[in-house]
Structure 1
Amino acid sequence: MKKLLILLLFPSLIFAQKTATVKGRIINKYNTPIEGVAISYLSKGTTTDANGNYSFTIPMRKTVTVTFSHVSYKTVVKKFTSRGRKTFNFSPSLNFKTQELEEVVLKNQKKEVQGITKIETKKVKNLVGANAGVENVLMTLPGVSNNNELSTQYNVRGGNFDENLVYVNGIEVYRPFLIRSGQQEGLSFINPHLVQNINFSAGGFQAKYGDKLSSVLDITYRKPVDFGIQIDASLLGGSFTIEDTFLNNKLSAILGVRYRDNSLFVNSKQTEVNFRPKFTDVQTFLSYKANKKLTLNFLGNFSLNDYNYKPLTRKTRFGTIANPLELIVFYQGQEQDEFQTLFGAFSADYQVNDDLKITGTISSFNTQEEEHFDIAASYNLGEVDSNIGSENFGEVAFSQGIGSQINHARNDLDALISNIQLRATLKDGNNEWRAGIKYQTENIKDRIREWEVIDSLGFSVRPPHHIGNNQPYEPFTGPIEPFRNVRAENEVDINRLSGFVQFSRKTNWNNHQVWMNLGVRAHQWNVKTATASSKNQLTFSPRAQFAIKPDWDKDLLFRISGGWYSQPPFYKELRDFDGNINPEVKAQKSIHLVAGNDYSFTMWERPFKLTTELYYKNLTDVNSYSVDNVRIRYRADNVTSAYAYGLDVRLNGEFVPGNDSWVSIGYLKTEENINNQGYIARPTDQRFKFGVLFQDYVPNLPDLKAYLNIVYNTGLPGGAPAYANVYQFQNRLNDYKRADLGLSYVFADANKQHKTGFLRSFKELTIGFELFNIFDIRNSITNTWVRDAYSKQQYGIPNFMTGRVLNFKVGMQF
């Protein structure tokens, strides 16, 4: 145990070596990896694997000549000289022998220096999970958690879903407002088949990124260089992607269409339903190079989520072995929801000269949402006979609570968000200046009609604020009131003006590499409603990052970052539990401090990297909230303070040669103090996280590959019933445990092309299956609260997530 702690917390003390590592990935001009490239050096040699990857070590303080040769490509010769324990990243592009040699070296930008985690797009493609995509990879990282496999939303270091920035090609993207369940989400905005680069920061990010409190996911869509078609299909849906270039390669275009059906997952839950979901998404990215200096781009998206849900019955057993309980529910009615979103963005990149680049963007996002349901539920809460010798063992012996309830909603929302922004980047030697300004308008029209009537043993349960009556001794003639009733009509206009400026410098201090960044953001906004308007509010957000890579024998990088971060309220944060708008809600504020260490080393003659980060957040003017599945409901005030701190550790490397995997561990503690009542756990207080992403193949059959995804999270707070004081309900849900396995066989890929037979038409053909929740563990995400008519006690009955599910899939490229 002591050795393990030293490995995780004091990486600078281990793996002392006297060699440097040279690694990279060799490709051709079509970005296809080259297998079998002979690499010779110092009378030694190695070759690239099926993915074009290679790695070897060289002695320190000695110039080594390395030759890269292949029978079909021109030879490349490179010299390496290491003054200390370092890692050289050299990824040449080899040209065919029939062409004139023109070496191209792809230089790593070392995004890790800036506290950014760079994720390989190949992992997104191969990772198995209920919601395969970019977000699914994030769930395996330390500090990132989500207990709902039907949702692509994620919490980062104690923040909620609304505190995460998501960019696609430098443009901020949004998600629908009214979605309250993960099974309603359908598809993430990000289409993984269009992605080229993925960068992620869990805190302490630069000023060029916007005003949120938790994280940044920065996605870049690719620009095609050749014609291609990609088709994926499975029992959960499918996707079609086509790409090509036109007008003498000046215009590149890529189009992706996706369809999703969650019936397979919902049918594995404990609620029997008639379920007909239709989740459709169409995206396109066009790029036109008008001349050497000007490039015009367009990013467009249309999505339509039709969610028709008709619950029939539910049977849930819970409690302890000594006191087991069972809830049986019979439903009538249905839910019909529709979420339609449109997004379009035009941008122009103008390269004034080699040092100055200017980008202008105009974008607009519209969401039209309908949430209509009428569902009546009759329930029986009973004690289960736990006497093994009884004839009625396992059956309900006594009913503690019998009742019913009706839930009704006619909620409609229309939101239009438009903005225009201008950015500039100026490079001056080792210095870089960035600046930008953005103006945004938001118009939201929201109609809320939502109520719930609760009946227990023939008596309507009055809302908590209702004055009691003296029945049956005195007749009560008042009207029946819903237990919960929200009626509101809101039209809100928000105008925002924000901007930033930041300075970066990369230099050397003696023989040590140093990188620094200083920046500041400003954000001014006002809120207008039909009856009131707020004063102009203004926030400043100074931020800084510093990193140093010492010239030591060990390959170490130390960094520290932080600043004062603000999150001006969005529409949902202005609306309280009763649907009323408070235009005076202030920005939530947080002080970030992040200290990290990256240690690259060689183990088993393969490259590994250990990343450790400590972080602390002090939050003020917090707008506290409750979470029900993926719906967040705010208090719409700023009477709460909070804090969060923790430790994140990730070890990644080639546990299996040629396949990068990782193990991550995270510890988090976050608490809040609501209106000076004392500190309690926040809804996202997930203390411990353990995640594994593992890739392997059969040694004698390398085309048969396996992917394993394991996540363990300790339990979240279980929430509280409506109108209840959260301080009286501080129980936690059970721990979240899940393992997903994927197996696939590669019939054709870049390194396995066929000249005859039907396989000759495929650039890639893969067939496999996925087994979700291998051990069929019953995980829960929220509680349903049921009242016992006798004791007046309320029971939190867990809403269990999906069970074991088998999915078949096929992927092909032409």
Structure 2
Amino acid sequence: MKNFLLFIALVATSFIYAQNAVIQGVILDDKNQTIADVNINVLGTTIGTASDNTGFYRLVVPANQKITITFTSISFKPSTLKDIELDGKAPFEFNPVLKTDIEQIGTVTINNTRTKEFAGITNVDPTVVRAIPGVQPGVENLLKSLPGVSSNNELSTQYAVRGGNYDENLVYINEIEVYRPFLVRSGQQEGLSIVNADLVRSVDFSAGGFQSKYGDKLSSVLDINYRRPTEFGAGIDASFLGVNAYAEGTAFAKAATGILGVRYRNNSLFVNSRETEAITKPVFIDAQTYLTYQVSPKFELSFLGNIAINSYEFEPLTSQTNFGTVDDAQSLIINYDGKEDDQYETYFGALKASYDVNKLLNLRFITSVYHTQEQEHYDILGRYRIGRPNTNIGSDDLGEVDFTRAIGSELDHGRNDLDALIVSLEHKGTLEFDNGKKENDQLDWGLKFNREDIRDRLREYTVIDSAGFNIRPPSVAANDEPYFAYTAPLDSFESASADNDVQITRLQAFAQYSSRGYVGDHELYWNAGVRSHTWNVSGAGIQSTTQTVISPRGQLAMKPAWDDTNMLFRFSTGIYYQPPFYRELRDQQGVVNPDVKAQKSVHFVLGNDWSFNWTAPNGDKRPFKLTSEAYYKDLSDVNTYTLENVRIRYRANNDAEAYAYGLDVRLAGEFVKGTESWISLGYLKTEENLDGRGYIARPTDQRLKVAFLFQDYVPNIPNLKAYINMVYSSGLPGGSPSYADPYDFQFRLKDYFRADLGVQFVLVDDKKKPKAGSWLEDFDEFSIGAQIFNIFDYENNISNLWVRDVASSAQYAVPVRLTPRVFNLRLIAKL
């Protein structure tokens, strides 16, 4: 009732200010690219604003009187909208095009540093996101080319940052936190990313040392904003992997905007290319929408909605994996019975109200509901034999097993069902202080209430039989079969069984202050804030437990006034807590421990940006930026875990301490004129000390990573474009059995290397217009192309499959390989 009354009060207040009007739009340059940080002012008044990093601006002006509005930027010639008179009934759209001021280009990078650069936030161009090829295209695909971000599974959209795991990353869409499914075990089950790249307006990413306003996780934050259309548009992106389509437009004199994206994806092209011959139906469908309505010049409502229905049916038939060395070649042949049937249904909706009390004060109220129903059912019996393959190149039966040394079988059973409902209510506010400086000081605050209701049924077991003899659980002493009989009851090799009904309530609050000014001629930025997080865990058979953590954070950056060098230095530090989510409360047997503490990490990040122009052989000056960050993280109350493909299973006991340190370097710029490319280099070391037994490598200890993202075009055919996404990283610790003591298995998987190529021939874009009367005349963009995934057909391993021979007491680590070389065709069309 209180929320309803507050809503009515805001609406009523908005009509008091009906004497105002709104002008808004997107500012473009003469190449049809958006321009950020353009100053917009009403001539003769103090009314003004600036465009954001996507070129969008919104300005509240007096209604029913003639005004003149100016648009100015250091690198462009000014533009003026003279003697305009608005009635205030609906927002007025004006999209100015600013011409380049050649004489001022040299000073742009020196005097126009964005606040996000001071805060250590990486901004990614959405057009690059949509162009770069990848097995899972989209925002996460591009993030994996950044230093400090790693993922050794191209079928997954999940990523690890600076030694953290997949659960340690915050993801926001339009200030609303979003979640991923709970029960996914492998990348091929995962489906679509929650972020629809066709709807994206801006992408901001921080790999550590982020501000208090971004929430409580240990590793990173991904901040996505969906765009507001200014006119009708539609597009389609189709390939052998599926179809993405969107439509956007406005209504009610552009007071209302809406964009809808629908995606269909079928991963059969990749699943069927692997070593296992199978009948598969990996189908993933989702629909997302972002709607806005300008109730008045000061009051706006928006809605973000998502429905995702993912179905993964997998019926394996046979597989043959050759491994070992040339001198000791081995082969594993498996014949399967049974199938896996997984279903994931997710429904998400969020309503946001934004109210401008005045030019300096903005209040936002957000409510969201997230509901997921997940089913993971499987019964798969694999009868295996290990033997020596024929390695005689001239033989007719090359590769076939001519001698079998071990046989056995394994039955995997699972009946896992989960239903989760997450409801949140949130208030955020922003107050600027008009201090006469170019950039105002800013106070941000927020208060959030969360209620998480999880109902989870876990039933899993594995039975292993080698040469007709049941293999006992790893916790039980080995027997002497087949030479001596064993008469005790048979036990499954691994098992987990639990029924959990858990409720978690959270109350979070933050406040932070930001200031930007000058010390002498040197530009200075600082930010200081604090967060609090209180949570309670309760449920059937669970003793109610409440805990609280306080998290202070700060940032300091300086841009020296050096004549010949454009550099920025920054330092971030803070205490970062990660209060446990449901997954972190559940141990490897499925039992919930409500006393699990929040993991704690103290961040120290020292960074430098060096912007410069490189003179090409032909005399062209091309902009480049070299970004370097050194970091150290000291972790305590660590909740250790095992990683199987993408499934994380926690020990849920806060029994370790850990650390991570490294160096990230990225060189970005126009290696080819008119395109953006980059090279990334990252070094990382992260170790954990479990129960005081000494430091060992953590599952995400990926020491070295090199990534190369390159855009190019044929000089004589500029509309034939190429995109290369290439990643090399050293092998991760892993591949050991999930039940094993990590101190007994400290070896690594082989190095990961992958290169994806996309070639697109552009028939229509903003630079190439079709002839009048052509069938392409109605298209704003039209292109066709091809993609080659894993160009060099490199065999990457995600884990090991462990098989046993009871007679010889030997275990064989058989590599589980990722996707080989795959070809795809792609068509893009936009109206």
TM-score class normalised by the smaller sequence: 0.7 to 0.9
Determine if contact 1:719/1:726 at 8 Å carries over to the other structure: no
Task: Tell me if 1:731 matches 2:747.
Answer: yes
Residue 91 of structure 2 is matched in structure 1 by none
Percent of aligned pairs with the same residue? Answer: 52
| Cα pair 2:261 2:288 within 8 Å, conserved | yes
1:587 aligns with 2:587: no
**Structure 2 residue corresponding to 1:508, chosen from 494, 497, 518:** 518
Q: Choose from 797, 800, 822 the match for 1:783.
A: 800
Aligned residues between the structures: 744
Report the residue type matching 2:450 in the other structure.
Answer: Q
**2:812 counterpart of 1:795:** yes
Partner residue, 1:336: 341
Paired AA for residue 758 in structure 1: W
Cα deviation for residue 730 of structure 1 reads 1.1
| Cα separation, 1, equivalents of 2:483 and 2:359 | 89
CA–CA separation in structure 2 for the residues paired with 1:591 and 1:150: 32
| Contact 2:30/2:99 (8 A) holds in 1 | no
> What amino acid maps onto 1:705 in structure 2?
K
* C-alpha distance in 2 between matches for 1:201 and 1:409: 38
Pair 1:458 & 2:468 matched: yes
Q: Does 1:87 align with 2:106?
A: no
How far off its partner does 1:533 sit? 2.3
1:729 is displaced (CA, Å) by 1.0
Conserved in 2, the CA contact under 8 Å of 1:323 and 1:384? no
More RCO (CA 8 Å, sep 6+) = 1
- Code of the residue aligned with 1:603 in structure 2: it is W
Describe the superposition over 1:171-190 as per-residue Cα deviations: whole angstroms up to 9, x where unpaired.
00000000101011110000
Q: Separation in 1 of the partners of 2:249 and 2:98?
A: 30
- The 1-side partners of 2:394 and 2:295 are apart by 83
Corresponding letter in the other structure for 1:87: T
* C-alpha contact 2:729 2:753 (8 A) present in aligned 1: yes
The correspondence of residues 57-456 of structure 1 with structure 2, limited to 5 A, is: 87=109, 109-384=114-389, 394-429=399-434, 430-456=440-466
Q: State the AA in 2 paired with 1:479.
A: P
Distance 1:81 1:272, change over 3 A: closer
Aligned position for 2:781? 764
CA distance in 2, matches of 1:32, 1:425: 27
Q: Determine the C-alpha separation between the residues in 2 that align with 1:387 and 1:758.
A: 58
In structure 2, the CA distance between the partners of 1:78 and 1:701, relative to structure 1 (3 Å rule), is: closer
Q: Distance in 2 between matches of 1:256 and 1:391?
A: 53
Letter in 1 for 2:254: N
> Quick one: which of 487, 500, 509 aligns to 1:499?
509
Q: Using the alignment, how far apart are the partners of 1:622 and 1:204 within structure 2?
A: 19
5+ residue gaps, structure 2: 1-23, 34-53, 56-73, 80-95, 435-439, 616-620
**Pairwise CA distance, 1:68:** 9.2
Cα deviation 1:141-181 (Å, max 9, x = unaligned):
00001110100000100000000000000000000000101
CA contact (8 A) 2:278 2:318 kept: yes
Shift of residue 793, structure 1, vs aligned partner: 2.6
Displacement, 1:753?
Answer: 2.2
The equivalent residue for 1:698 is 714
**Per the alignment, do residues 598 and 475 of structure 1 end up closer, same or farther by CA in structure 2, a change over 3 Å counting?**
closer
User: Within 2, Cα distance between the matches of 1:515 and 1:335?
Assistant: 54
Decide which moves more: 546-555 or 721-730: 721-730
After superposition, the Cα gap between the structure-2 partners of 1:241 and 1:74, relative to the gap in structure 1 and judged at 3 Å, is: closer
The match for 1:567 is 578
Q: Is the 8 A contact 2:319 2:334 kept in 1?
A: yes
Specify the SS of the correspondent of 1:125: helix
The yes-or-no answer on 1:653 pairing with 2:654 is no
Is the contact made by 2:133 and 2:724 (CA closer than 8 Å) also made in structure 1?
yes
Distance 1:372 1:66 in 2: 60
The CA distance in 2 between the partners of 1:458 and 1:670, in whole Å, is: 43
Instruction: Report the CA distance between 1:471 and its aligned residue.
Output: 6.2
User: 1:238-281: CA deviations, max 9, x gaps?
Assistant: 11100010111110000000000100011111111111121000
Secondary structure of 1:135's partner?
helix
Shift of 1:32: 6.5
| Letter aligned with residue 808 of structure 1 | L
Cα distance 1:531–1:765, how it changes in 2: closer, same or farther (>3 A)? same
- Mapped contact 1:740–1:772 kept (Cα < 8 A): yes
1:542 equivalent to 2:543? Answer no
Q: Give, in angstroms, the shift of residue 296 of structure 1.
A: 0.3
Displacement of 1:381 in angstroms is 1.4
RMSD: 2.5
Taking the aligned partners of 1:434 and 1:305, their CA distance within structure 2 comes to 38
Equivalent residue runs for 1:546-695 within 5 Å: 546-553=556-563, 554-604=565-615, 605-695=621-711
Question: What TM-score comes out, normalization by structure 2 length?
Answer: 0.86
Match of 1:710 in 2: 726
Q: Specify the alignment match of 1:519 in structure 2.
A: 529
Distance 1:561 1:80 in 2: 36
Residues 126-150 of structure 1 show CA distances to partners (whole Å, capped at 9, x for unaligned) of 1111111000110100000111010
Distance 1:390 1:184 in 2: 39
What is the one-letter code of the residue matched to 2:163? Answer: G
- SS at structure 2 position matched to 1:190: coil
Cα distance, 1:396–1:420 mapped onto 2, change above 3 Å: same
Deviation at 1:392?
A: 8.0
* Superposition deviation, residue 111 in structure 1: 1.4
**Residue 752 to residue 474, structure 1, CA distance change in 2 (3 Å):** closer
Deviation string for 1:6-29 (max 9, x for gaps)? Answer: xxxxxxxxxxxxxxxxxxxxxx97
SS of equivalent to 1:183? helix
Letter in 2 for 1:258: R
Q: C-alpha distance in 2, partners of 1:557/1:149?
A: 34
User: What TM-score do the two structures reach when normalised by structure 1?
Assistant: 0.88
Shift of 1:725: 1.1
Q: Is 2:490 the counterpart of 1:480? A: yes
C-alpha displacement of 1:75:
8.1
CA distance in 2, matches of 1:256, 1:77: 35
* 1:747 aligns to 2:747 (yes or no): no
SS at match of 1:446: strand
Distance 1:400 1:534 in 2: 55
